Structure 1
Amino acid sequence: MTTLPQVRMSVDEYLAWSEANPGRYELVNGEVFAMAPQRMLHAEVKVAVYDALRRGIRAAALACEAMPNGLAVRIDAHTAYEPDALVSCGPRIGPDAVEVKNPVIVVEVASPSTRRTDASEKLTGYFRVPSIHHYLMVDPDRRTVIHHRRAVDGMETAFVHEGTLMLEPPGLELPVSSLFEEP
């Protein structure tokens, strides 16, 4: 069992520490937090989201790549989140990378233990990253997507239950139903 460090860390220190300590963690204001075990429904929806993102990228022939959870997104010098899925465009992410520098889309699949954090701290944190244009909060229990989108004068939010999400940039179309398909 990994003991969480009791000292504040920078993101660089955290990334080095996390490579030597198996498990899922996030760094918030310099403090390491272990992520709770996930339910089967949560895991299935994460797979469906990742698959839908990959299919959408291929269908649109975008120079982007979808990534499942496991890579960090740096919010500031002392905070790094690990979204459930993300999309990065431009140069490919290196094979030894543990961090995605310029994600365009980040996705969190809601769970009872993370719902409040996803809708507050992570929402404001993700939009501090200039490259992030879309933050999708996928609720498997309600089969709803809360789509937060960067806008000229701030942020726009839509609650989507059906239809197609238009994610511009990068020019990705995602049928909402595809985010809930069984793997």
Structure 2
Amino acid sequence: MIARQPELTYSEYLAYEQSSPKKHEFVNGQAFAMAEEDENHNLIVINLVGCIHPHLRGTGSRLLALAMKLTIASANNATYYPDVMVVCDRSDNDPYVKQKPCLLIEVLSPFTAMLDRREKLFNYQKLESLQEYVMVSQTEIKVELYRRDPEGWLVQSLSIGESLQLQSIDLAIALSDIYEDVQL
């Protein structure tokens, strides 16, 4: 027998998520358990946070990582947990859910890469505040940068020896710093 997962309203999802020991993303009325992160994933996120956090001190922008929800109202309240998020809009002040990031970074795993490249890319680009979306591979030294342009979204692929230029926060990060201590 096949059981259908019950649909949730956005309010029901938020209430459920507050009491759940496991994180879930929310898309089209369905809650989906998040995959566990491995050591490489964790190291890449820590390296990114280590590079970005000192740069943002005193700017009023906030760096959030791993455990902060992002809701996209224009995507039927789709809600995700980006690996790294920067919010510079002080009106985005809910302590549990953000809606106006200028920068989002996802670390791709073999289990999440397709979701990050398709669904999240599509939904993230609906955010008016978003200036850049970055996808970082954890299986090879490869970074993809999507940047908002007056005529659409530009994409740039980076590899060994290059630097990630984040215009949204005026910061350059060498890929060698992103992948420091990561075993590929």
The C-alpha deviation readout for 1:14-69, integer Å capped at 9, x for no partner, is 122101111121001110000112221111111112222213324xx532121111
| Cα distance change, pair 56–179 in 1 and its aligned pair in 2 (3 A) | farther
Give 2:132's aligned residue.
134
The C-alpha deviation readout for 1:139-168, integer Å capped at 9, x for no partner, is 122111100111111100001123332222
TM-score by length of 1: 0.86
Please list, as runs of the form range in 1=range in 2, the aligned pairs for 1:84-123 lying within 5 A after superposition. 84-91=83-90, 97-123=95-121
Instruction: Say which SS state the counterpart of residue 49 (structure 1) adopts.
Output: helix
| Cα distance change, pair 29–168 in 1 and its aligned pair in 2 (3 A) | same
Report deviation, 1:134.
0.7
Q: Distance in 2 between matches of 1:179 and 1:172?
A: 13
Report deviation, 1:170.
3.2
Give 1:12's aligned residue.
11
Report deviation, 1:105.
0.5
Please list, as runs of the form range in 1=range in 2, the aligned pairs for 1:1-183 lying within 5 A after superposition. 6-58=5-57, 62-76=59-73, 77-91=76-90, 97-161=95-159, 162-182=161-181
Q: Distance in 1 between matches of 2:169 and 2:42?
A: 26
Instruction: Say which SS state the counterpart of residue 70 (structure 1) adopts.
Output: coil
| Cα distance change, pair 63–182 in 1 and its aligned pair in 2 (3 A) | farther
Report deviation, 1:178.
2.0
How many percent identity over aligned positions?
27
Structure 1 segments unaligned to the other structure (5+ residues) = none
The C-alpha deviation readout for 1:66-98, integer Å capped at 9, x for no partner, is 11111111123331111011111132875x711
Q: Distance in 1 between matches of 2:162 and 2:80?
A: 29
Q: Distance in 2 between matches of 1:62 and 1:45?
A: 24
Instruction: Say which SS state the counterpart of residue 97 (structure 2) adopts.
Output: coil
TM-score by length of 2: 0.86
Question: Given residue 9 of structure 1, which amino acid in structure 2 is its aligned partner?
Answer: L
Question: Given residue 149 of structure 1, which amino acid in structure 2 is its aligned partner?
Answer: R
| Cα distance change, pair 54–40 in 1 and its aligned pair in 2 (3 A) | same
